[in-house]
């Protein structure tokens, strides 16, 4: 637009800034290194710069980034080559093709403007510059140049680049590529077809929904939260928000999802191994702290099941990030033999107020007022442990221990494998009837009741797997778990019903996964 081309300040190859507008006339040309027509125009621009550069700003704006130097050296350019790798200036100037030439007088008015290489346009430009500057006509061998050659599309018109620039221009923080589908297409079916889904319908992540989701965190949308295996995709806050929208989250859930992504993408948790193992491991999330009540998480009736939006969608959002950002889709890197329903979602809150024990996050070194997500790699569960008749504390504790015998296989003993025990309120009340029954006492009781002679865990004609081969001599006794450190305990469930549950772990340690806790950043 005349008398109003957008301002810019761009650096040349030496890092020196060049501003527009100035008090001098300007010849400005937009190019990119891999455009044949731009390479035809470059020597002409250099000749115009050498002839008229003392009185006119001759500026070449290149979109080629690292290739700008090669372009300048190829044509022995002494004129300023300015870096517009982001294409922001090209976007703001409305460039459609390169080369795109603007001859602008000292007042900022466009005297002439053209695209591509039409020889007569360039000859007219040279004549106009001669008249404007009262300098001799530039010496250019016009006969050696083509009469006409079309330009190339400006780099910023690439849909991925253009959508980012458009979002910036509109004041939006969204940078992700926008996908437009035909008006006759079904959005839900399109997302299934593109492989975005876990097998259930998704909420379309429109810009408006993503913007609302981003309102749930104080963090910049382009902050990098984690690098997500197996494809090492970069999970920005924005990309996590997009998947949270698809999962059905509310904006206030987003900080929990972000913390969960941070947790599973640590080396300790090893989400690559958790995803790829044929054993079918999946993340199980336990939420602690004030965030539970703030976002309405379920920790009581049906805490491990369906019916609560926060529980269901937070767990699902984590899985979608691992799938859509990390590339862990079933049949690809994810090679679970049977699969696992927890691969859809598994997230619940601990009922800290009903527990007589320190909450999980406090045990792990956090303050009671901190909001924390803890992730475990689990292959099975929740598996019910039923005891409706025991009335003594050690009886209930013993039942919980026997309920854990099935982790992997009863004959497999001294396992260095995590188990997550979810104790229901009625079982808690029985354990507490004679006074304090600590978590450590419960862990010791589990190890006590599961203790067996190692000879009982042998391999024989009945069972081809176990902890030891058959022995005729005296053998030591071993408990189910290698130590009490592998037994994690939380409280959840309704006031009625003597049914606790357990999640069975994968491989705990450096060769597998270690549970990780992350504080939720609430700003």
Of 244, 253, 250, 322, the closest CA to residue 283 belongs to: 322
Give the model's pLDDT for residue 1: 35
Question: What residue ranges do the domains of the chain occupy?
Answer: 8-157, 187-456+474-519
Count of Cβ atoms closer than 10 Å to residue 421 Cβ: 23
Q: Is 38 exposed, middle or buried, given 0-12, 13-18 or 19+ CB atoms closer than 10 A?
A: buried
Mean pLDDT of 140-150: 96
Give the model's pLDDT for residue 413: 87
Per-residue pLDDT at 464 exceeds 80 = no
Per-residue pLDDT at 133 exceeds 70 = yes
Q: pLDDT band for 331, please (50, 70, 90 cuts).
A: confident
Of residues 454 and 458, more confidence is placed in 454
d(C-alpha 504, C-alpha 509), whole Å: 15
Of residues 347 and 332, more confidence is placed in 347
Give per-residue pLDDT as tens, 391-402. Answer: 999 999 999 999
**Residue 209 main-chain phi, psi, to 5 deg:** -65, -40
Q: Is 67 exposed, middle or buried, given 0-12, 13-18 or 19+ CB atoms closer than 10 A?
A: middle
Give per-residue pLDDT as tens, 167-226. Answer: 777 777 888 888 888 888 899 999 999 999 999 999 999 888 998 999 999 999 999 999
Per-residue pLDDT at 326 exceeds 70 = yes
Mean pLDDT of 490-514: 96
Q: Is 455 exposed, middle or buried, given 0-12, 13-18 or 19+ CB atoms closer than 10 A?
A: middle
Per-residue pLDDT at 474 exceeds 70 = no
Give the model's pLDDT for residue 2: 40
Of 69-73, 286-290, 391-395, 432-436, which range is least confident? 432-436
Of residues 164 and 306, more confidence is placed in 306
Per-residue pLDDT at 364 exceeds 80 = yes
Mean pLDDT of 397-408: 96
Give the model's pLDDT for residue 207: 87
Give the model's pLDDT for residue 15: 96
Mean pLDDT of 3-10: 86
Q: Please give the share of the chain, as a percent, with pLDDT higher than 90.
A: 83
CB-based contacts of 141, cutoff 8 Å, min separation 6 = none
Mean pLDDT of 364-374: 98
Average pLDDT of the chain is 93
Question: What H or E segment, with its residue span, contains residue 469?
Answer: strand 468-469
Give the model's pLDDT for residue 468: 62
Per-residue pLDDT at 473 exceeds 80 = no
Of 108-112, 474-478, 513-517, which range is least confident? 474-478
CA angle at 176 for the pair 221 and 155, rounded to the nearest 5°: 125
Per-residue pLDDT at 471 exceeds 70 = no
d(C-alpha 82, C-alpha 57), whole Å: 12
Give per-residue pLDDT as tens, 333-346. Answer: 888 999 999 999 99
Of 8-17, 127-136, 172-181, 183-192, which range is least confident? 172-181
Q: Which fold has domain 8-157?
A: Glutaredoxin (3.40.30)
Count of Cβ atoms closer than 10 Å to residue 12 Cβ: 17
């Amino acid at each position: 637009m005349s008398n109003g081309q957008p301002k810019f300040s761009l650096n040349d190859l030496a890092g020196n800034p060049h501003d527009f507008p100035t008090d001098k006339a300007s010849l400005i040309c937009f190019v990119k290194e891999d455009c044949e027509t731009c390479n035809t125009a470059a020597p002409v621009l250099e000749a115009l710069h050498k002839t008229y550069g003392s009185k006119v700003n001759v500026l070449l704006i290149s979109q080629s980034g690292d290739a700008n130097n090669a372009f300048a050296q190829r044509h022995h350019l002494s004129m300023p080559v300015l870096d517009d790798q982001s294409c922001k200036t090209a976007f703001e100037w409305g460039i459609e093709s390169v080369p795109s030439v603007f001859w602008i007088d000292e007042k900022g008015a466009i005297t002439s403007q053209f695209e591509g290489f039409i020889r007569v346009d360039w000859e007219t430009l040279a004549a106009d510059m001669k008249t404007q500057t009262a300098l001799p006509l530039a010496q250019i061998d016009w006969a050696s140049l083509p009469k006409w050659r079309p330009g190339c599309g400006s780099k910023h018109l690439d849909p991925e680049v253009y959508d980012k620039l458009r979002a910036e221009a509109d004041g939006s923080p969204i940078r992700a590529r926008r996908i437009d589908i035909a008006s006759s297409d079904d959005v839900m079916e399109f997302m299934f077809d593109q492989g975005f889904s876990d097998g259930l319908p998704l909420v379309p992540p429109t810009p408006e929904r993503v913007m609302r989701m981003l309102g749930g965190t104080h963090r910049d949308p382009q902050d990098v939260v984690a690098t997500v295996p197996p494809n090492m995709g970069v999970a920005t806050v924005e990309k996590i928000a997009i998947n949270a929208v698809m999962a059905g989250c509310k904006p206030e859930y987003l900080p929990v999802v972000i913390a969960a992504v941070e947790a599973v993408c640590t080396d300790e948790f090893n989400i690559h191994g958790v995803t790829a193992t044929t054993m079918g491991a999946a993340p199980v999330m336990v939420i602690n702290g004030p965030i539970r009540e703030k976002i309405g998480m379920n920790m009581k009736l049906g805490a491990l099941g369906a019916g609560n939006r926060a529980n269901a969608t937070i767990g699902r959002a984590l899985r979608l990030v691992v799938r859509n950002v990390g590339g862990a889709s079933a049949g690809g890197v994810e090679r679970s033999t049977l699969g696992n329903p927890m691969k859809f979602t598994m997230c619940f809150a601990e009922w800290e107020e009903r527990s007589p024990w320190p909450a999980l996050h406090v045990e792990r070194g956090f303050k009671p007022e901190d909001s924390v997500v803890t992730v475990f790699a689990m292959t099975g569960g929740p598996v019910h442990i039923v005891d409706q008749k025991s009335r003594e504390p050690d009886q209930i504790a013993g039942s919980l221990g026997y309920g854990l015998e099935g982790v992997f296989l009863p004959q497999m003993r001294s396992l260095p494998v995590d188990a997550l025990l979810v104790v229901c309120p009625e079982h808690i009340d029985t354990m507490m009837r004679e006074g304090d029954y600590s978590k450590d006492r419960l862990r010791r009781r589990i190890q006590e009741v599961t203790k067996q002679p190692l000879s009982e865990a042998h391999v024989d004609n009945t069972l081809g797997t176990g902890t030891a081969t058959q022995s005729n001599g005296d053998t030591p006794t071993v408990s189910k778990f290698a130590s009490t450190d592998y037994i994690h305990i939380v409280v959840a469930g309704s006031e009625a019903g003597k049914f606790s549950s357990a999640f069975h772990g994968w491989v705990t340690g450096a060769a597998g996964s270690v549970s990780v806790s992350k504080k939720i950043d609430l700003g």
